[in-house]
Amino acid sequence: MGGKVYKPLAGVKVLAFEIACALPAGTRTLAELGAEVVRVPPPARDVGNYIGVVDGVFLSKPCISIDLTKARGRALARQLALEADVVCDNFRSSVLGKYGLSPEELRAEKPELIVLKLSGYGVPGPWTDFAAFGPSVEAAGGMNRVMGGGGRPVGVGSGVFADQLAGRYAALALISALRARDHTGQGRTIDLSMVECISHLLGPFMVRASKDGDAPWGDVSTHVPDGSYPCRGEDEWIAITVKSDAEWRRLATFIGDRQLMHRGLSTRARRAERCGEIDAALADWTREQDKNELADALQGLNIAAAPVRTVSDMYDDPQIRSRGAFQSVAHRSPVMGFESHPHVRNPWRVRGRERQRLTDFRYLGQDNEGVLKRWLGLSPEEIRALKRDSVLVDAGTLEVQNPLPPFRDPEHAEKLALVSADDAR
Amino acid sequence: MKVVELSRTPAGAFAGLVLASLGEEVRRFDLGSLRAGPRPGEDARDEAERCFLMQGRQSESLKLPQERARLLEAVAVSDVVVEDLGPGRASNLGLSWRAAQEANPRIVVVSLSPYGASGPHRLWHASERTMQAAGGVMHATGWHGEPPTKLPGNAVQYILGLQGATAAEAAVYGVQSGNEEGVYIDISAQESLLLHWSRHVSQYAHSGTLMRRPLPDAHGPNWPLTNEASDGWLYMLALRRSWEEVSEFLGLGDLVNEETRDPTRRAEKIPQMIPRFRDTVRSRSKYDWFGRAAARGYTYAPIETPAEVLESPQMAARGFFESADLDGEEVKVPGLPFDW
């Protein structure tokens, strides 16, 4: 603690008209790299946004709120946009254009501006205006089908997988555009499609389909065995992958199962013919064992194995704790009974540098005064006049609603304290 | 930007692919088979994966440590090195952080590995599956009563590669803008994937909620989420829309009554209503439902096969797919998901 903070994007100003998760995930990365990201949410949708707060994608960003339906609001937003290095949005495709904030209008006045639009299906195209969120683009991008089995698709159990992925690509696109701008002096207009982020991740599946048509359901591994096997406890699992015949011999010897050792399974090809039988035998063996102890033991044999982490034991993972993957973020006032909560940080560890600390989420309009003063040099009187005329909206608070979860862990408060203690060290 | 790519796994190769797709000058060194130490991840699965990953740059073979001088010459004239050889391996082969800095004080080194370069599991053996198990997402993916399902292909290694490409761009921007000096960046697959599970782990922290794999017949706030239309599967969650509204949309308005308006009583009745619902969904194509739902602002989507994605009119309009050669045959490969 106390070392130099890593801020490669120091001095970069980002104005983000953002909602939901995907773009906010990307701009939070920019904020963690030292950029000043000012969040402009749609006024009616911010209060009580449980998911937005819980996700942590709004952390580390000042928040302003401007009524774009008013002429003075539009003029103010335009002034801010022209002050920025980057303007980005994930509102519906027509929204910013309606208010005179289209990429063409902004870049006509400031060619070096970088403008990014993020949407479910991208612009142009016949699906451009179709509503989408993470799970729908995972479906349309091909993911659910290639994960499926037994003739039935499977969804990703994340809720924000596609959002975070699109956020990663958005951060990449914006940083690359900043670098290009510093060489050419020219900005760029970028249109990012969430569904294409999914299909890009499935590149080899697309190549195979292009060559041979669709494969049968399921994602076939090249290793045998390669699976998740039950362990002691409710819904506890270990993942094991045997990558070579030598590893198989070590595993079979370790298990001490004479049949597994001698049933003619010494080559991958022979094991592939009987993988169902092998999986059943392995499951019988793992069922009464502790997933963490077993993973340690198999690692001792140089076999790839890892406990399948649950949401509740992720915080206990020794590697995650050792690398400080979570940071406890203190709230100005308690949220759902806690004065702080752990959030996942940017995963880059830079030698000799500290990571920028995440700061608490800000409610609608909480930073109107600070941002307008810093970016546009407005006086307190001018800002008061904008508030008086309702050009600026100030929610004054942020209420978080509890969506009544279906399963609850009675020990979670204790585990939360554990994370905070790690973070304080 | 000039990039030295030292990749043995799909993680480094994906980083190289992304950087090459951005127009960066990527020089990929093929290290062949290295004797000591396991491969820190997976091999490319087949020729199709190699075709996808190796686009946009040439490979040149390099024997290390014998040809260390050639590598350092490349480092001296580059902006960034992206490597995925495993913790300590680059150093053992003659490319320590100090050696890289001596060759080029402004160099950025991005090191990609399953668990990172520090911590008690840094040298753990890893596969795509075990990295996914350690990073999350997998436990909540699949069906209740069945083993957790992994994400497809080498997804976590690609996600790690994407982080690596972004870290490279950001670090070089930092150097060129004068904000930073050359740096060594260490990124793990485990933490990279954890970010994609941020909602569930954070929701647990906030409320103690344990996310579980659903029952195959589980239904969302409206109706079951995945259903068969006449020509394939359809994802059917209309976000922030009521069961009553969606039922009217589907032509099942007669099922809306005082009893079914009550969520508790409706839950009891749903199993009896499901067969008619399924028949209704099967009466139209998935694209017909998709278009009709979109007109109402619903977040439905066709569940596409890869071959259907290749034919997507949306992606065709955007020019998403490009051509590549695979064994003398022209195939389609996806480009970057943003225009560049």
What residue segments make up the domains of chain B, in order of their start? 2-197, 226-303
Query: Cα–Cα distance between B39 and B41 in angstroms, integer?
Result: 6
Quick one: A343 and A303 in the same domain? no
Quick one: A243 and A197 in the same domain? no
Asked if B205 lies within 8 A of A178 by C-beta distance, the reply is no
- The domain of A113 spans 4-201+323-388
Q: What is the pLDDT of residue A47?
A: 46
Quick one: A331 and A370 in the same domain? yes
Mean pLDDT of A349-366: 93
Q: Which fold has domain B226-303?
A: formyl-coa transferase, domain 3 (3.30.1540)
- The verdict on residue A230 lying in a domain is yes
- The verdict on residue A365 lying in a domain is yes
Q: What is the pLDDT of residue B313?
A: 98
Question: How much is the pTM?
Answer: 0.96
Asked if B208 lies within 8 A of A405 by C-beta distance, the reply is yes
Count structural domains, chain A. Answer: 2
Mean pLDDT of A340-368: 93
Query: For residue A92, what is the domain's CATH number?
Result: 3.40.50.10540
Residue A129's pLDDT band (cuts 50, 70, 90)? very high
Asked if A323 lies within 8 A of B127 by C-beta distance, the reply is no
Q: Which residue of B has its CA nearest to A21?
A: B199
- Residues in B closer than 8 angstroms to A320, CB to CB, are 190-191, 194
Quick one: A139 and A188 in the same domain? yes
Quick one: A126 and A86 in the same domain? yes
Quick one: A160 and A230 in the same domain? no
**Where is A253: in which H helix or E strand?**
helix A245-255
Query: For residue A269, what is the domain's CATH number?
Result: 3.30.1540.10
Interface of A with B in 66-125 (CB under 8 A): 116, 121-122, 124-125
Query: Cα–Cα distance between B245 and B226 in angstroms, integer?
Result: 18
Q: What is the pLDDT of residue A405?
A: 53
Nearest C-alpha of chain B: how many angstroms from A108? 19
The strand pair at B301-302 and B232-235 is best described as antiparallel
Q: What is the pLDDT of residue B217?
A: 72
- Residues in A closer than 8 angstroms to B278, CB to CB, are none
Quick one: A132 and A235 in the same domain? no
Cα–Cα nearest to A169, from B340, B201, B282: B340
Amino acid letter, B22:
L
Mean pLDDT of A192-200: 98
- The verdict on residue A366 lying in a domain is yes
Nearest to A137 among B158, B167, B301 (CB): B301
Domain boundary among A278, A312, A346: A312
- The verdict on residue A212 lying in a domain is no
| Least confident residue range of A81-95, A397-411, B62-76 | A397-411
Residue A74's pLDDT band (cuts 50, 70, 90)? very high
Q: What are the per-10-residue average pLDDT scores of chain B (340 residues)?
A: 96 98 97 64 85 96 94 98 95 95 98 97 96 95 93 96 98 97 98 92 85 79 90 93 95 96 89 95 98 97 98 98 95 97
Asked if A311 lies within 8 A of B171 by C-beta distance, the reply is no
Asked if A173 lies within 8 A of B205 by C-beta distance, the reply is no
CATH second-level architecture of B2-197? 3-Layer(aba) Sandwich (3.40)
Asked if A191 lies within 8 A of B18 by C-beta distance, the reply is no
Quick one: A50 and A74 in the same domain? yes
Quick one: A306 and A339 in the same domain? no
